[in-house]
């Protein structure tokens, strides 16, 4: 599991007094940086080096997140395939699960415009973060 702590900003709050739902995809993306660094340690976004694309994201909003408290983003590897993998993100505030969601990432060759196999060393590193089997979603 990867853990990223986010402090809500005043500008993240909507007219209803809680963190706007559009903010969570940004926080979950921020929490993917350690995974991105597995593929490209310098985060070089050139087409010759960058090797991931986002294929899908989805979220379930379970409770309101408020301004006055840090949010812990927990990131697990949910599934490992040959060319893609699925991450599971959770946003926790004050010990309560507030939002959960999945992101499917595909290993991609931008020069040749096609998917490619996950490198074995990265696949092994990702496997260390597989979601525990006894974890209830």
Residue with tokens 């006055």: 68
Q: What is the pLDDT of residues 52-103, one digit of tens each?
A: 999 999 999 999 999 999 999 999 999 999 999 999 999 999 999 999 999 9
Distance CA 64, CA 75 (A): 19
List, for residues 23-59, the tens digit of each pLDDT value. Answer: 999 999 999 999 999 999 898 888 888 899 999 999 9
pLDDT the model gives residue 56: 97
Q: Report the pLDDT value the prediction gives residue 134, as an integer from 0 to 100.
A: 62
DSSP letter at 69 equals: S
**Which residue would you say has higher pLDDT here, 17 or 97?**
97
Sequence spans of domains, the chain:
2-127
CATH homologous superfamily for 2-127? Hotdog Thioesterase (3.10.129.10)
């Amino acid at each position: 599991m990867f853990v990223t702590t986010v402090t809500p900003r005043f500008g993240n709050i909507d007219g209803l007094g809680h963190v706007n739902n559009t903010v969570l995809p940004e926080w979950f993306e921020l929490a993917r940086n350690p995974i991105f660094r597995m593929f490209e340690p310098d985060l070089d976004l050139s087409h010759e080096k960058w090797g991931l694309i986002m294929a899908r994201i989805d979220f379930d909003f379970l409770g309101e997140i408020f301004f006055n408290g840090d949010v812990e983003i927990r990131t697990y590897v949910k599934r490992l395939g040959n060319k893609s993998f699925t991450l599971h993100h959770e946003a926790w505030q004050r010990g309560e699960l507030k939002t959960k969601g999945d992101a499917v990432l595909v290993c991609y060759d931008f020069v040749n415009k096609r998917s490619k196999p996950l490198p074995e060393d990265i696949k092994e590193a990702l496997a260390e973060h597989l979601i525990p089997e006894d974890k209830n979603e």
